[in-house]
Structure 1
Amino acid sequence: MRRPFFRRPPAPLALAIACAICMPAAAQTTDADGATRLDAVIVTGTRAADRTVLESTSPIDVLDAEDLRRAGVAGGELGSALQTLLPSFNFPRQSNSGGADHVRAAQLRGLSPDQVLVLINGKRRHTSALVSTGSKIGRGTTPVDFNAIPVSAIARIEVLRDGAGAQYGSDAVAGVVNVILDDAADGGAFEASYGLHHTDLAPIGRTLTDGQTSFASAKVGTALGDEGFLRVGLEARNREATNRAGFDQVPPWDRTDANLAVQGRRNYHLGDGESQDLNGWFNTEVPVGETATLYGFGTYHQRDTEGANYYRYPDGEANWPQVYPDGFRPVSIGENLDVGAVAGVRGQWGEWNVDASLNHGRNEFTFRLRDSINASLGPGSPTRFRTGDYAFSQSLLNLDLSRGFETFTDYHTVAAGLELRTERYETGAGDPASYAVGPYTDRPAGSQAGGGLTPQDEADLDRDVASLYASLASSFGERLVTDVAVRYEDYDDFGGELTGRLAARYEFAPAFALRGALSNNFRAPALAQTGYESTSTGYSAAGQIVQGRLLSVNNPIARALGATDLSPEKSINASLGFTSRIGRRFDVALDLFQIEIDDRIALSEAITGDALTAFVDANFDVARIESAQFFVNAADTRTRGAELVANWRDALAGGQLHLTGAWSYAKTELRNVVATPQQLAALDPDYVLFGVEERNTLTDAAPRTRGQFTATWRDDRWHLLARVQRHGSAKRVFNFGGGYEPEQVYGAEWQLDAEVELRLAQRWTLAVGGQNITDEYPDLSNEDIFYFGNLPYDVLSPIGSNGAYWYTRVRYTF
């Protein structure tokens, strides 16, 4: 057991994580007494200063701090809280998935994680430095790390479910998540929680208790002068591992006497790895003179995580029995450091509102391995390795101008601005022993479960981006509102692109309105997708040891296999919605959408086999390669979907009752799939550049539907919550070679959550609850996929494979 990089929180006062108070999935927020407020002013998706949720031209979800506090699965995980609250948001738990065990990727509307833009207080957030190459969901992307954003820092979150590239720039294809930080000038809160999984694991016939999670947060604010403030906070979290692996049946090709001696054991790991997190944040404003305000905010995140890898048998070419007589299972270790800070000034310049800011964010990730070996070095090989360093930084200069003016009975807000952005992506080689080719040439080279980055893999890329935008938000009387925006964005490596957006809402009757939007959006390839390379030694999906390379499109080997320069993704978004509010008790919203994306970027299929190895050996002076992949503009896609939400609120038994139903559907289809290049087909007619596994990643791996029904009741002392969720079906497809392509559809699953919170005194509350309290699991994987009993559950279903989770939580406010 490694030593945590910070001390664990003291013995918890409460049990962890919660469930959402209300599901405001159709652009709603909740006030202190639980009644939904449709008149909440929004700042996302429009430049108008007084536009409310009800008047939004596109669907916007507004989640307040109480929603997030009661929905943060595993104590303080923002991504898990958003999945609980938003049916269109998917945040699966990965295992045996390389970097995705350490940095989880999120989807909005079923699209890729790098097609959603994240803002903090309206300012662009940087992405992770780690490329997800071993995952299923988010494969080949560098996602924003939602769990690096402290939950206790958040006042509310606005989620715009629509393309908004013309307003916010590249990446806003599926939508925008805008995190608004707490700005209270006084008071504070302390919260502690503790929880654990208690579950019956059918594949092994045992009852398990694991995944113990403790979480503590504290925040406080103070006034600075008459109108300024400083708000600061700190969080700490410790999560123990879970394991849902089955009994090892041992693959037929590994059934030697030594290997059969470990048959029937739980040699593998399936579930969450250990994790320790430390978060800090601040948010401040200071008036300067009569018309200007200096502001600043920032976040600090440090996380130490462990990830799972396949077990290596005692009698195998990857092992030396002198080192591991019972075989070994390498453990990956992630050291994640994430910081972001913004400083700016806003004020008045004549009739104009002016906002100028500097924004810098950086993510550093170090990958390590323990309980591993470089078999080619012999029994004297190290068993611990540093396999690579990754860094991504982003700096921005923003200048925004806006002003309002009236024309007869109409009101308009015009805005314009510029953004200068620079990005840099770097990778560093691992320990020499992690990639060395030793004297034992009959053994695989490199550290097992992820060979180290070699000097030839190192990348150092940067680029500059400049953009100009203009927008006009208008209210024509009381019935019609519109948003128009245009942006020109220029990349020094991919050229320029003009994007635009037109959205409108028309209230054709006092309680009924139609809204719609049309936009085109642009996403340049990430620097990592352009230049990332890595060398690996591990197990293929079929269970065979493979030495492989992920190549940049500029690598001579990739070029010889048919790689070409990447093109930016371009999309057209269209949506049409209906909203209705009848009295103060009932409201409903239905939105239909279509997103067409050209030149979707994805990883190629893993190209393996003797033909590849012979070709590389004959033409390139590099170490032996048995597998190769590179990024491609894989296909054009079309995603069609619908999102429905309805709310009912009323007084009941001296308190307030709130009922919410929400449902989302998104189906992605492939169009114009990239052809296998002649160079690749000439090596082997069976080679396919973009095959069944990667097609499955884009289309069927994530559930198309998710729905939930939430009921809450509260009075001055009690808050009761019950929520039923339905996670739709998902499909897994493998390509084991030779035409063997097993697949399985995992059926829909139902999940029940519940929580009771009691106000003990004016400042103290105590909550007890559970998530997935009926202890549901995804379908068991079939014999083609469950890897000889070791991995009985897949990672695709949002319900996860940890079973029931029980928690308690205590909170003190002042």
Structure 2
Amino acid sequence: MRKIALLFFLLNVTFMMAQREVSGIVKDKTGTPLPGVNVQEKGTKNGISTDMNGSYKLNVNEGATLVFSYIGFTTVTKPATTAIINVDLEEESGGQKLEEVVVTGTRTAPRSNTTSALPIDVLSSKDLTATGQATFDKALQYRIPSFNTVNTPVNDATSLLDPYEIRNMGPSRTLILINGKRKNLSSLLYVQTSPGRGETGADISAIPTDAIERVEILRDGASAQYGSDAIAGVMNIILKKNHSDGSLTIRSGITGEGDGEMLGVTLNNGTTVGGNGFLNYTIDFSKVNQANRPGTVDAEGDAGDFGAPLADVQSFLARRPDAGNINGSPETAAAKFLINGGNDLNDITQIYYNAAYVYKKVNSFANYRTPYWRTLDPANPYLNDFFGNGDDANPSYDGYVPTFEGDLNDYNATLGFKTTKNGWNTDMSITTGGNSQTYSVNNSVNRSNIKQSSIDPDTGLPAVDPITGEVIYTSKYQENSPISFKPGGTSFNHIVGNIDISKTLSDHISIGFGSEFRTETFAVQAGDEASWEGMGADSFAGNRPENSGKWNRYNFGAYLDVAYDVTKDFLINGTARYEDYSDFGNATVWKLSSRYKFLDDKVTLRGSVSTGFRAPTLHQIYTQKSQYSFVPGSGIQVSGIINNVSPQARQLNIPQLDAEKSTNITIGIGSKPFKNFNFTLDYYNIKVEDRIVLGDKQDTQFGSVAWFSNSFDSRTSGLDVVMNYNNIGIGSGKLGFNLSGNITFDNERISPVRTGDSFSQTLESLMFTSRPETKWILGANYEIGKFGFSLNNTYFGKTTFNQDGLNADLKTEFIPKIVTDLGITFSATEKLTLAFNVNNIFNVLPEWKFVAENAAGSAILADPAQVKTQYNLITFNGRYSQVTYDGSHFSQLGTMLNLSLNYKF
């Protein structure tokens, strides 16, 4: 027995001595790690696949040769002569296009978007820049049917960033990630009567498009994987990693009307750091001039609203038919800086980091204060002193237009490391981010009749009348008012810590688990006294000290994700998450998803069911303010918002906010019947309970005020369609088609409004019918030689509004429109490319009409006088004739021409 044991020992030693361990990382030419690459010892069955970080480790025989293969990439063969073999794979030219590996939607091992159990859109940097749109959010508008962003005509701070949403769910229900890490929310809370009212979201327009490698958009509820804000879906922005092939891009543009001039320059470049690291950086500067699309104002309507003599109104409008209004798009300047980098510390550990800073300044205008709106009182000639020639005998006062100026600062940064040991993948990171906005109002006045005692300059005491001995009082404002104000601002920041661990346990099971700790701070900065005291600054009152302050909360979350490949075709994925918030309690949610492939992977059936939650934002909990807004028939009025933790809320028996709860169901099919054609259809059904909304103003002992509440339940359902057919040979070029669409089946309130709340038909239509019922994008691209051509048609379906003040027997309907975009690229050399885009080539503008709800409505439409009255109510007497006061889903600026030059280093 001893001899036999010794023999086995010697054989084992010999075998071990004949083998050696080889490891490395496999990446593409941009430096992106490739998971799932097959690494095999040539001539044997000995092999392994790279993990989620592109890493592999394999014991091979002496003198072995390794073969690296991956669908869509050229196969690489290398002798195993060293212990570390790193490989860069190149895409096959003219071959089968790589099925994108997506990291969004699962916390276990990544999968391709055709084998994922969830609907995920993947957009490359080329897809985004091909739209010719100036900002990232507008590029998504013309690429993703279920993504919508609203163009508001004039809404004060809303001019800093437009509200956006996925699947009609509002901006606060889509979670934004950068390289898989949570991006900070904006500090702006939308409070005007426009789509997105009562919501807040991350400022995605702040992200420079040239810094983006690709965008992964998960169109499914994902609270179980990622926590709050993911009821509608997740947008994961993957930054560029290339350390070479830098470029300089110069962009210019102008509208078809000759305004809105745009000029921008972007530098994207990279460098190696040490021998095993990279740093990619982006610098972006842009300036967009104001574009103005005012309407023609109706004299009789203005005379009635302001109680002014018709002759005076007509005299002013003869000089200024648009009543001096400036509405369209504001003047915007932006500076954006971003870095993305990483270093391999050793064979199994990598450190990574990214950071961004954005500064944006917006100059816009309030409604013009006409001389019959803000009248020149002979006893108080200060308006002529401020805005006229100051001559009492011959005043030249002709009204004034206050300006609104916003300064936005947005930053985010992540530092983390990944390591792989014994098959366990560990990712630890810390992320910080913030957004601040400060405002200025100029060319305005505080009209309050507040008296204050005069001060004797000699004594420093109140001055008295030498005859009567009474204290002498003067106006604090009016003729003594400043004309420039600092109304304050808001800020939001968070710090997020993440630990994520995953492992592929076998060919069938992979797991992921982790935790997150997040702290958030929201602050309201008080304005200067003149901006809020009394009436405050005309057009935009400042934040009062008692409504200002700083508030903080924290939360802890933990999740477990298990993926089970029952067979190579049948996948089941389950996730559970627990979250505990310091200010309102905890939530436990789950998700179960599955997919089944058949016919040699040509057809995939997939579906998911999940529960979710959304915590009320600090903005919604603590915002308390006075605001100016347009009230049909009454002009601009001041009203207020009281928060749910205020003494006023207790007196009105308003409960504190709780989290929203959701149930998401998605069922879909995907197919790739042959190499160049694929399509997906996905049905979704989202039920949201205790939906948080900003209700209507109500008359209370505290004046006309509104508040947030968990007011009702809602349901949204629809169908997403995506089709692509590429590489069609036409002559010596290649033609490709794409068709994608979103159809809304239901978007409605499904429960009564909570007792004590007020939710009018106006707010109901803003939330449920003011989004396109359907939206389709049909595109074609053709590449031949040095030229590339693209033609995209975006169909915006019907939307309806029941505007505030509109007769209950009527509604307005935005007529469906098709916006056509043309793009031409010319590769002059290998390094120099010119691109010319004409967006909205046929100058299609938003168009709306009145629709009767019943016979009484039909009678109104048959009477031109009544129609005119209703028209004046919702357009502020024609000031917003193109889009009404509530905005539209595509720009009212018409045709846009853009020219860019890209030079590769």
Q: Report the TM-score range of the alignment, normalised by the length of the smaller protein.
A: 0.7 to 0.9
Residue 226 of structure 1 is matched in structure 2 by 275
Range with greater deviation from structure 2 (287-296 or 450-459):
287-296
Residue 153 of structure 2 is matched in structure 1 by 95
Residue 181 of structure 1 is matched in structure 2 by 239
Residue 261 of structure 1 is matched in structure 2 by 315
Range with greater deviation from structure 2 (311-320 or 180-189):
311-320
3-state SS of paired residue (2:874)? coil
3-state SS of paired residue (1:126)? coil
- Residues in 2 aligned to 1:512 and 1:603: alpha-carbon distance in whole angstroms: 44
1:281 pairs, out of 309, 314, 338, with: 338
Pair 1:60-2:120 in alignment: yes
Contact kept? 1:128, 1:363, Cα under 8 Å? yes
List aligned pairs for 1:640-719, cutoff 5 A.
640-649=717-726, 650-666=728-744, 667-677=746-756, 689-719=758-788
Q: CA-to-partner distance for each residue in 1:618-662, whole Å, 9 max, x for gaps?
A: xxxxxxx4x211111121000010011111122221222110111
List aligned pairs for 1:532-611, cutoff 5 A.
532-537=623-628, 539-608=630-699
3-state SS of paired residue (1:54)? coil
Q: CA-to-partner distance for each residue in 1:305-360, whole Å, 9 max, x for gaps?
A: 02332222213358764233211222211100001000011112433111111100
2:881 pairs, out of 780, 787, 792, with: 792
Q: CA deviation at 1:378?
A: 0.9
3-state SS of paired residue (1:55)? coil
Q: CA-to-partner distance for each residue in 1:389-427, whole Å, 9 max, x for gaps?
A: 211010011111111121xxx432211101010000000
Letter in 2 for 1:568: A
- Residues in 1 aligned to 2:630 and 2:481: alpha-carbon distance in whole angstroms: 20
User: Structure 1 residues 32 and 120 mapped into 2: Cα distance closer, same or farther (>3 Å)?
Assistant: farther
Letter in 1 for 2:829: A
- Residues in 2 aligned to 1:289 and 1:140: alpha-carbon distance in whole angstroms: 49
Letter in 1 for 2:371: P
Letter in 2 for 1:227: N
Contact kept? 1:310, 1:539, Cα under 8 Å? no
- Residues in 2 aligned to 1:236 and 1:713: alpha-carbon distance in whole angstroms: 31
Residue 179 of structure 2 is matched in structure 1 by 121
Q: CA-to-partner distance for each residue in 1:5-28, whole Å, 9 max, x for gaps?
A: xxxxxxxxxxxxxxxxxxxxxxx9
Contact kept? 2:260, 2:291, Cα under 8 Å? yes
Q: CA deviation at 1:249?
A: 2.1
- Residues in 1 aligned to 2:781 and 2:635: alpha-carbon distance in whole angstroms: 51
Q: CA-to-partner distance for each residue in 1:599-626, whole Å, 9 max, x for gaps?
A: 1111111225xxx4xx33xxxxxxxx4x
- Residues in 1 aligned to 2:481 and 2:353: alpha-carbon distance in whole angstroms: 49
Letter in 2 for 1:62: V
Q: CA deviation at 1:243?
A: 1.2
User: Structure 1 residues 304 and 121 mapped into 2: Cα distance closer, same or farther (>3 Å)?
Assistant: same
Pair 1:521-2:521 in alignment: no
- Residues in 1 aligned to 2:694 and 2:761: alpha-carbon distance in whole angstroms: 12
- Residues in 2 aligned to 1:361 and 1:31: alpha-carbon distance in whole angstroms: 36
Residue 442 of structure 1 is matched in structure 2 by none
Contact kept? 2:443, 2:484, Cα under 8 Å? yes
User: Structure 1 residues 590 and 638 mapped into 2: Cα distance closer, same or farther (>3 Å)?
Assistant: same
3-state SS of paired residue (2:766)? helix
Contact kept? 1:780, 1:792, Cα under 8 Å? no
2:826 pairs, out of 758, 763, 767, with: 758
Pair 1:142-2:203 in alignment: no
Residue 567 of structure 2 is matched in structure 1 by 477
Contact kept? 2:131, 2:823, Cα under 8 Å? no
Letter in 2 for 1:724: N
Residue 499 of structure 2 is matched in structure 1 by 399
Pair 1:155-2:209 in alignment: no
Contact kept? 1:164, 1:521, Cα under 8 Å? yes
Q: Normalising by structure 2, what TM-score?
A: 0.79
Contact kept? 1:38, 1:54, Cα under 8 Å? no
Q: CA deviation at 1:83?
A: 0.8
Range with greater deviation from structure 2 (325-334 or 790-799):
790-799
Q: CA deviation at 1:696?
A: 1.3
Residue 298 of structure 2 is matched in structure 1 by 249
Contact kept? 1:97, 1:308, Cα under 8 Å? no
- Residues in 2 aligned to 1:422 and 1:130: alpha-carbon distance in whole angstroms: 18
Q: CA deviation at 1:706?
A: 0.5
Residue 412 of structure 1 is matched in structure 2 by 509
- Residues in 1 aligned to 2:897 and 2:840: alpha-carbon distance in whole angstroms: 9
Q: CA deviation at 1:778?
A: 1.1
Pair 1:630-2:702 in alignment: no
Letter in 2 for 1:652: I
User: Structure 1 residues 465 and 741 mapped into 2: Cα distance closer, same or farther (>3 Å)?
Assistant: farther
Letter in 1 for 2:771: A
Residue 235 of structure 1 is matched in structure 2 by 284
Contact kept? 1:274, 1:305, Cα under 8 Å? yes
Pair 1:462-2:548 in alignment: no
List aligned pairs for 1:319-330, cutoff 5 A.
321-322=383-384, 323-324=386-387, 325-330=397-402
Range with greater deviation from structure 2 (714-723 or 741-750):
741-750
Query: What root-mean-square deviation, in Å, do the aligned CA atoms of Structure 1 and Structure 2 show?
Result: 2.1
1:773 pairs, out of 838, 841, 846, with: 841
Q: CA deviation at 1:154?
A: 0.6
3-state SS of paired residue (2:127)? helix
User: Structure 1 residues 759 and 314 mapped into 2: Cα distance closer, same or farther (>3 Å)?
Assistant: same
- Residues in 1 aligned to 2:849 and 2:478: alpha-carbon distance in whole angstroms: 37
User: Structure 1 residues 752 and 427 mapped into 2: Cα distance closer, same or farther (>3 Å)?
Assistant: same
1:169 pairs, out of 189, 203, 227, with: 227
Range with greater deviation from structure 2 (380-389 or 317-326):
317-326
Contact kept? 1:781, 1:793, Cα under 8 Å? no
User: Structure 1 residues 334 and 582 mapped into 2: Cα distance closer, same or farther (>3 Å)?
Assistant: same
Structure 1 gaps, min length 5: 1-27, 199-207, 438-444, 617-624, 678-687
Q: CA deviation at 1:215?
A: 1.5
Q: CA deviation at 1:703?
A: 1.1
Q: CA deviation at 1:261?
A: 2.8
Range with greater deviation from structure 2 (176-185 or 697-706):
697-706
Q: CA deviation at 1:758?
A: 0.6
Residue 5 of structure 1 is matched in structure 2 by none
Decide which structure has the larger Cα Rg and report it.
2
Contact kept? 1:318, 1:375, Cα under 8 Å? no
User: Structure 1 residues 655 and 477 mapped into 2: Cα distance closer, same or farther (>3 Å)?
Assistant: farther
Residue 803 of structure 1 is matched in structure 2 by 894
Percent identity over paired residues: 28
User: Structure 1 residues 120 and 723 mapped into 2: Cα distance closer, same or farther (>3 Å)?
Assistant: same
Q: Normalising by structure 1, what TM-score?
A: 0.88
Residue 22 of structure 1 is matched in structure 2 by none
3-state SS of paired residue (1:210)? coil
Contact kept? 1:387, 1:431, Cα under 8 Å? yes
- Residues in 1 aligned to 2:615 and 2:414: alpha-carbon distance in whole angstroms: 24
- Residues in 2 aligned to 1:70 and 1:31: alpha-carbon distance in whole angstroms: 21
Residue 382 of structure 1 is matched in structure 2 by 482
1:42 pairs, out of 102, 112, 122, with: 102
Residue 10 of structure 1 is matched in structure 2 by none
User: Structure 1 residues 543 and 328 mapped into 2: Cα distance closer, same or farther (>3 Å)?
Assistant: farther
Count of equivalent residues:
741
Q: CA-to-partner distance for each residue in 1:218-269, whole Å, 9 max, x for gaps?
A: 0111112333101111001100111111122241233335444321422212
Letter in 2 for 1:736: G
User: Structure 1 residues 68 and 537 mapped into 2: Cα distance closer, same or farther (>3 Å)?
Assistant: closer
- Residues in 2 aligned to 1:193 and 1:589: alpha-carbon distance in whole angstroms: 35
**Following superposition, which runs of at least 4 residues in structure 1 exceed 4 angstroms of deviation?**
28-36, 317-320, 739-742
Contact kept? 2:174, 2:232, Cα under 8 Å? yes
- Residues in 2 aligned to 1:32 and 1:210: alpha-carbon distance in whole angstroms: 45
User: Structure 1 residues 31 and 193 mapped into 2: Cα distance closer, same or farther (>3 Å)?
Assistant: farther
Structure 2 gaps, min length 5: 1-71, 74-89, 377-381, 388-396, 449-476, 851-870
Q: Select the structure with the greater relative contact order (CA < 8 A; seq sep ≥ 6).
A: 1
3-state SS of paired residue (2:142)? helix
